[in-house]
Amino acid sequence: MEKLPHAANTDLRAIHFERWTEAAGRTGDDAIADFAAAAIQDPATARVLSSVFGNSPFLSQCLISDLVFARELLLRGPDEAYSEAFDAAADRASLGDENEDQVKLRLRIAKRRAALAIGLADISESWTLERITSALSDFASAALGASCRFLLRQMHDRGDLALHNPEDPENDSGLIVLGMGKLGARELNYSSDIDLILLYDQDMVPHTGKNGLQHLFTRFSRNLVSLMDERTKDGYVFRTDLRLRPDPGATPPAISVLAAEMYYESTGQNWERAAMIKARPVAGDEKAGLAFLDILRPFMWRRSLDFAAIQDIQSIKRQINAYRGGAKIAVAGHNIKLGRGGIREIEFYAQTQQLIWGGRDPELRVRGTLSAIERLDAAGHVDGAAFSDLKQAYNFHRRVEHRLQMIDDRQTHELPENEEDLERISVFLGYSSVADFTEELLRHLKCVEYHYAALFEGETNLGGPGNLVFTGADDDPDTLKTLTQMGFSEPATVSNTVRTWHAGRYRAVRSTRARQLLTELVPTMLDAFSASPNPDLALRRFNEFLEGLPAGVQLFSLFNAHPGLFDLVAEIMGAAPRLAGWLSRHPILLDGVLSRDFFDFVPGRHDMTAELAEATGHARDFQDFLDIQRRWANDGIFQVGAHMLRGRLEPVDASGPLSDIADTCLTSLLPEIKREFADTHGHVPGGEMAVIAFGKLGSREMMPGSDLDLLFVYDSPSNTEQSDGRRPLPPGQYYSRLCQRFIGAITAPTAEGRLYEVDMRLRPAGNAGPIASSLEAFTRYQKTDAWTWEHQALTRARVVCAEGDLGENLEAAVRSVLTARRDASDLASDVAEMRERIRREHGVDDIWSVKHIPGGIVDIEFLAQYLQLKYAAETPEILAGDTAAAFAVAGEKGLIETDVASELVNATILWRNLQGILRLTVEGGFSEDGAAVALKRVITRACGAVDFETLKQTIETTAAKSAALCQAFFGIPKN
């Protein structure tokens, strides 16, 4: 007892001495009272009590609350006292005679006594560190064994099991209890959790009950945790953690041996290999446990590792930031386990090298940390001085760790942050001052980080400015701090998300190679997401993106080779949920970003035609042609979207390229459809066909997600009765079927998705009319039967592709209809009536529903169409393709006032910019309350506003002015 520390807190010591005396008086036992009084008077015993009472409230309570055991401990010493507590926990004689409450009481009293004996042996330095940690670990095994025997016997008595020997329930039971981490290595710390994996061998369990094995052992697991972990008035035995089992978020607390084998063979990660190094059967059927570990030997110890596997192992340690001197370590608040130069770095130093070399050298396959480093040293795999230095540091760190924990029986590893408490822990550790303790602590911390950093020579540090560790089942405190510093507001959620990726729950990360690549990429990903205005949202959307991927190796390799891609991905995830969803469905789109000119310019129509022709020229068959065309279109639309998102292209200017993409696809597709169709039905002699676009494509105002409003017209000689193929068809039927085939090719969902959605409701007689109309029928209908709203739609009609002279003839027919003279009053009334009908059906007040608000897109387009139909007879130039151009012509020609025309052009541009950017970024309606800051910024920039609030005011002002102008031009409809 020579090395007992002084009392760090004399006031606390006095209080505990007083409580000691009071407790002795309350026992009513003269022998105890006499002993308690004598202990205070005896210098040696009083010194022990002073050391405990002035430093550890927990040990003080253990002594004062159990004076009978305190007497035995102080008189006979910690060795005999511990043996007595251990025997009480391991007791087999009472098996079958105790109930659950009695088992809980026995184990809790035994644990309190063992903790007291070990604590006294520790602070007096009567035992070595190895003896202390072994005693803690062996007691945990004894308590687990007693609990398992009780529960198995209980299951036997209930009829769930037919044990081979009810007096020895664990033997041949098929129950496997693996101790992991420090318990497995017999290195438990003073107030440690115990990490367990519970398994059952379905071929060995003597099952006789009605419930299945999974149900049976799930209940067993819960009962075992209750026996060990539940806090009663007598305390607890050990906090118990089952999360190191395979994929803990998706599996029950106990799993079958077969399921575990399959998991480790298919999905097991390198950090799990590292964890399994320390695995040891600590209770249950020891033979079955050893057999299971023998099965896992090829998983744990690989004779040969490929370069990727070594990279992944190294990435485990590189995630922990390694320092080679320089930066100062702050002692106050330092985490002795997880901080720089701490216990974990020593453990990782050993485990990572064991994984790499242990497959070829069985001598390295040991569980203990110091034993492993000693053998690595002997085998020449580590620096010669490393073992000696790390052994000293490890023993020092563990001693500090134990003193921190035995103060209040808390699993803490952090040194106090204030000077007073730092001084107290220094005294408890036997130092005369904080300075002396700090000097020795820093020497060991720097020594560990020096040797740990030596493992990083020539390697890229994955940890950045702090730790980014996502191995194991627990959140790493330093990693949570690092994530917070990076700007994540929910670091625990981020940590859990990344661990989910490592667990291989998504298809994209089920292969070993995918997870290896992902481990390397995670710091780059997090860094990119942290640069976005809402890092948590960006990560959440990336997680959704990852969840939907069918495979990951190709994409992760792409990211690995081109880290800059993450800047774009992070921007998309943080600011454009709709584009993020699109990317999730078509991750191959990222390939296009790698082209040198992706952000330089969007190609024009001529270049698009050449590009698509070259791409489809390699098609193996028609199906392949469709897939290639869809990939090309998706690439182009994604490029335009990326330009819009980054402000390189205003949405109003993006309409042209988006329309060109659609035109190019339709023009390229039609000949292929005709060629395939002609194989069966031949051609219509002298026949011609045209595709007319209406709506957004017709006016070249396409936006992301726009569908195609199409109409088909054909012309054939009057004396042509049928086509000339082996299955001839009359012209009307021929072109209707051909057009159906064309629409099907556009809308069919192939492996690459749909090309576009197609709307045919603008054809003569709507959905009731034929798919394809003859030129004569189309012209007659438009001149005699069409409604005013159909002529409004016709103002945006454009021939996309046509054969022979049909295109010119069709354009002439359309122009003839649009330039016909009209009654101005009837026109205004018809337009106003249709406008009112739409407003009743779709009218909204939300300013972000820009299409249907008063003065919004519908009103503006109706006004342009009204002016076109009213003035086209005298001023055919007003039949410009798009809305803004029509207003501009109206102003130039004096049909409306110049300032009014300017207002309407500006309104049109605002609406198109706003609708275009919302279509690109938002899935469904836009809500400003739930919108990310990044998204608001993108919308504001796209609309040319200085800030979001100014944009809202501009929208409201513009809508009010436009609504008033509409009212002034065509007023209220007649009844």
Place of tokens 């090395």: 3
- Tens digits of residue pLDDT in 113-166: 999 999 999 999 999 999 999 999 999 999 999 999 999 999 999 999 999 999
Do residue 501 and residue 569 come from a single domain? yes
Q: Who wins on pLDDT, 95 or 867?
A: 867
The parent domain of residue 541 ranges over 465-575
pLDDT tens digits, one per residue of 826-857? 999 999 899 889 888 887 778 888 888 999 99
Number of domains in the chain: 4
Which positions ≥6 away from 816 have C-beta within 8 Å?
779, 783
pLDDT digits (tens, 9 = 90+) for 278-336: 999 999 999 999 999 999 998 888 766 544 455 555 555 555 554 444 456 788 999 99
Q: What pLDDT score does 480 carry?
A: 85
**Within a domain: residue 16?**
no
SS3 280: strand
Q: Select the highest-mean-pLDDT range: 55-69, 82-96, 238-252, 594-608.
A: 55-69
Instruction: Provide the residue count of the chain.
Output: 975
Residue 349 predicted with pLDDT over 80: yes
Compute the average pLDDT of residues 461-474.
61
Backbone angles phi, psi at 800, to 5 degrees: -85, -45
- Residue 473's pLDDT band, with cuts at 50, 70 and 90, is low
Q: Give the pLDDT score at 24.
A: 92
The answer to whether 279 and 197 have CB atoms below 8 angstroms apart is: yes
User: What is the structure's pLDDT at 136?
Assistant: 97
Q: Is residue 356 part of a domain?
A: no
| Domain contains 24 | no
Helix (H, G, I), strand (E, B), or coil: what is residue 545? helix
H/E run at residue 691: strand 688-694
pLDDT tens column, 191-230: 999 999 999 999 999 988 788 899 999 999 999 999 999 9
Measured from the Cβ of residue 701, the count of other Cβ atoms closer than 10 Å reads 25
717: left (phi over 0), alpha (psi -120 to 50) or beta: beta
**Same domain, yes or no: 891 and 869:** yes
Do 798 and 833 lie in a common domain?
no
Mean per-residue pLDDT, 447-455: 85
Using an 8 Å Cβ cutoff, are 912 and 706 in contact? Answer: no
pLDDT at 532: 75
Alpha-carbon distance of 94 to 18, in angstroms, equals 38
The percent of residues in the chain predicted with pLDDT above 90, rounded, is 57
pTM, 2 dp: 0.64
pLDDT at 709: 93
Supply 342's token pair: 């701490």
Determine, yes or no, domain membership for 460: no
> Residues 239-243: what's their mean pLDDT?
93
Q: What value does the mean pLDDT take over residues 955-975?
A: 80
In our burial notation (b when 16+ CB lie closer than 10 A, e otherwise), range 398-418 reads bbbbbbbbbbebeebbebbee
Q: Supply the DSSP symbol for 753.
A: B
**Among candidate residues 775, 764, 785, 679, the one with its CA nearest the CA of residue 732:** 775
At 931, which CATH number? 1.20.120.330
- 243: tokens are 């999360």
Residues 290 and 239 in one domain: yes
Q: What is the pLDDT of residue 216?
A: 94
895-937 pLDDT tens trace: 999 999 999 999 999 999 999 998 888 877 788 876 777 778 8
Range with the lowest mean pLDDT among 432-446, 639-653, 763-777?
763-777
Buried b (16+ CB within 10 A) or exposed e, 79-99: eebbebbbebbbbeeebeebe
- Residue corresponding to tokens 């109706």: 862
Shared domain check, 497 and 561: yes
State pLDDT tens for residues 498-517.
Answer: 888 877 778 787 777 787 78
Contacts of 21 (CB under 8 A, 6+ apart): 36, 37, 40
Same domain for 562 and 602: no
Residue 3 domain-assigned (yes or no): no
Q: What is the pLDDT of residue 319?
A: 55
The angle formed by the CA atoms of residues 35, 41 and 46, to the nearest 5 degrees, is: 90
- Please check whether residues 155 and 244 belong to one and the same domain: yes
Gap between the Cα atoms of 688 and 694, Å rounded: 20
Identify the pLDDT of residue 1: 53
Whether residue 810 is found in the same domain as residue 831: no
Last residue of a domain, one of 797, 818, 839: 818
pLDDT band of residue 463 (cuts 50, 70, 90) is very low
Question: Considering the domain boundaries, does residue 17 fall inside one?
Answer: no
- The SS3 of residue 236 is coil
* Domain closes at, from 794, 818, 842: 818
Cα 546 → chain centroid: 7
In a shared domain, residues 281 and 171:
yes
Q: Please tell me whether residues 836 and 914 are part of one structural domain.
A: yes
In a domain, 445, yes or no: no
Is residue 814 domain-shared with residue 828, that is, in the same domain? Answer: no
What is the mean predicted confidence (pLDDT) over 158-184?
94
675: Cβ contacts below 8 Å, ≥ 6 apart = none
Measured distance CA(253)–CA(317) in Å, rounded: 29
Please state the rounded mean pLDDT for residues 784-804: 92
Pairing of strands 798-802, 688-694: antiparallel
Q: What is the helix, strand, coil percentage profile of the chain, to 5? A: 60, 5, 35
CATH number of the domain residue 530 falls in? 1.20.120
**Is there a single domain that holds both residue 521 and residue 625?**
no
The confidence score (pLDDT) of residue 325 equals: 41
For β-strands 772-774 and 175-180, DSSP reports them as unpaired
- E strands, 717-844, are 758-759, 772-774, 798-802
Which tokens in the block code for residue 106?
């026995």
- Whether residue 4 is contained in a domain is answered as no
Asked which of 772, 802, 818 is the last residue of a domain, the reply is 818
Give me the CATH number covering residue 260. Answer: 3.30.460.10
Work out the pLDDT band at 447, boundaries 50, 70, 90.
Answer: very high
pLDDT of residue 322: 45
114 close to 61: Cβ distance less than 8 angstroms: no
* Alpha-carbon gap, residue 784 to 787, rounded angstroms: 9
Q: Does residue 975 carry a pLDDT above 50? A: no
As a whole number of angstroms, the distance between CA 855 and CA 965 comes to 8
CB neighbours of residue 746 within 10 Å = 22
The pLDDT value recorded for residue 467 is 66
Say which residue the tokens 């204030």 belong to: 418
Can you tell me which residue has the tokens 């495979």?
551
pLDDT digits (tens, 9 = 90+) for 388-400: 999 999 999 999 9
Higher pLDDT, 514 or 180: 180
Is 90 exceeded by the pLDDT of residue 885? yes
In percent, the amount of the chain with pLDDT more than 70 equals: 94
Amino acid found at 618: H
